[in-house]
Amino acid sequence: MAPSDWHFPRREFTHSVFVTLTQGPSPALRLFGPRRTGKTEFLQRDLGFMAAETYGHRVLYASFWQISTAPLALLLHACDMALRPQSYSERLLKWAQTPPVRIRLGALSDLAGLEIELGRNNDTPPADELLLLDRHLDRLADSRRPALLLLDEVQELAHHPQGTEIMAGLRTSLDRRREGLRTVFTGSSQIGLNKVFSARNAPLYRFAAPLHLPPMGPEFVDHQLKVFHRVYRRKLDRDTALDFFRHFQGNPMFFQRWLTALGLSPDISEADAARQTAQDLAADLELDRQWLALQTPHRAMARIIAERLPDPFGAGGAARYAALTGVDAPIPQTRQSYLRTLVRRGIADQWEGEWRIADPVFEAWILDRGADDF
């Protein structure tokens, strides 16, 4: 059994994204989805796989998280890789590895022997590297079977000193080859992504149409239980599995943590493994530490956001704030400033116009604490 058997293919969604991307009117999509919900896995194992293996498109993948010091070098490296003759599974393996510190662009670069350092942190991108990127993209472009550029963690670009120039160069290159190059941008912070796509002065402003990763449903659980049964010869209780899955907002990674705990200890019960996994996750993510670092008003605001109150700054939010803390709620502006603190610390984020706790585990953890912990 290969580890990839654990992958649950999102077939219908992948197909509709593939068709929209290759034949739709917009040359680019931007994929939204909370932390650790399977965006990268979708790009690489669903969309990229279908495009490359089933339909023979060229696929490029680059994550700006891996090495945010030299994003332009990273893009060039990704282009260079995409132009090499390799099978899709070889590519997948390479994408999982950290790129080398120094990169020698191959025979395809024209500029013979050009070597770039990924660790370099220049403020201004050399014009010849932007030109080289444009040339590489030109080689990748194919109007009959557009090349797919899968660019992950793009919110990192917004923080980089060269970011604006790179985005501007990229936008120009992609715009000029709308037929031959199609892009999916992804990121794990919606506020960060908005900086890249919705700020009026951002070069990629309104360039990409929004795309939402649909949540995993019970089919994911059934698929995972089936694979678990094949691997470990143990049938797990479906209801406990579904409860655990729902408790963590249908998060695939946390569900697999639970399966791993069960796989490692054949005698542990499903419910005990669920308790242990929840504790381990909280410890891993240092949720205690984050919570203790918050003052009472911020905790109250975090709980209100976790409870997904429809009007956190309105009358409902004020009443809840008072019930939680035992004191009258301050004016909405003050409560908004508490929320901004949570955003700055990466605890809260905005999804589809609604405020959310950015990490689904943290959300579940806050709700589990009981409403009197202030």
- The pattern of x and - marking residues 166 through 205 that bind ligand ATP according to CB under 6 A reads ----------------------x-----------------
CB neighbours of residue 81 within 10 Å? 19
Q: How many residues bind Mg ion (CB under 5 A)?
A: 2
C-beta of 309: minimal distance to Mg ion in Å? 29
Pick out residues in 240-259 that bind ligand ATP (CB under 6 A): 252-253, 256
Torsion over CA: 186, 192, 193, 196 (sign):
negative
C-beta of 121: minimal distance to ligand ATP in Å? 23
C-beta of 44: minimal distance to ligand ATP in Å? 8
Provide the residue type at 256 as one letter. Q
- Residue keyed to tokens 């209780």: 237
Per-residue DSSP letter, 99: P
Whichever of 41 and 307 has its CB closer to Mg ion, that residue is 41
- Which residues partner with 31 through β-bridges? 186, 211
Round to whole Å and give the CA distance between 247 and 105: 47
Give yes or no for a contact between 80 and 106, defined as CB atoms under 8 angstroms apart: yes
User: Is 40 among the residues that bind Mg ion (CB under 5 A)?
Assistant: yes
Cα torsion 86, 89, 92, 94 to 10°: value is -50
Residue nearest Mg ion, Cβ-based: 40
Give yes or no for a contact between 355 and 34, defined as CB atoms under 8 angstroms apart: no
- Residue keyed to tokens 């009959």: 144
C-beta of 128: minimal distance to ligand ATP in Å? 32
Instruction: Considering only the stretches 25-33, 36-44, 143-151, 286-294, report the one whose residues sit in contact with Mg ion under the rule CB under 5 A.
Output: 36-44
Residue 33 touches which of Mg ion, ligand ATP, none (Cβ within 5-8 Å per kind): ligand ATP
User: Is 277 among the residues that bind ligand ATP (CB under 6 A)?
Assistant: no
User: How long, in residues, is the chain?
Assistant: 374
The beta-carbon contacts of 44-48 under 8 Å, at least 24 apart in sequence, are: 44/92, 44/95, 44/150, 45/4, 45/7, 45/9, 45/92, 46/9, 46/10, 46/13, 46/14, 47/14, 47/17, 47/18, 47/21, 47/148, 47/150, 47/184, 48/88, 48/92, 48/148, 48/150
Round to whole Å and give the CA distance between 363 and 368: 9
Residue nearest ligand ATP, Cβ-based: 38
Instruction: Considering only the stretches 38-46, 66-74, 107-115, 301-309, report the one whose residues sit in contact with ligand ATP under the rule CB under 6 A.
Output: 38-46
User: Is 369 among the residues that bind ligand ATP (CB under 6 A)?
Assistant: no
Q: How many residues bind ligand ATP (CB under 6 A)?
A: 15
Round to whole Å and give the CA distance between 133 and 80: 10
- The pattern of x and - marking residues 325 through 364 that bind ligand ATP according to CB under 6 A reads ----------------------------------------
Instruction: Considering only the stretches 33-41, 90-98, 283-291, 324-332, report the one whose residues sit in contact with ligand ATP under the rule CB under 6 A.
Output: 33-41
User: Is 8 among the residues that bind ligand ATP (CB under 6 A)?
Assistant: yes
User: Is 37 among the residues that bind ligand ATP (CB under 6 A)?
Assistant: yes
Contacts of 24 (CB under 8 A, 6+ apart): none
Whichever of 278 and 318 has its CB closer to ligand ATP, that residue is 278
- The pattern of x and - marking residues 40 through 59 that bind ligand ATP according to CB under 6 A reads xx------------------
C-beta of 230: minimal distance to Mg ion in Å? 27
- Which residues of this protein are in contact with ligand ATP, per CB under 6 A? 6-8, 33, 35-41, 188, 252-253, 256
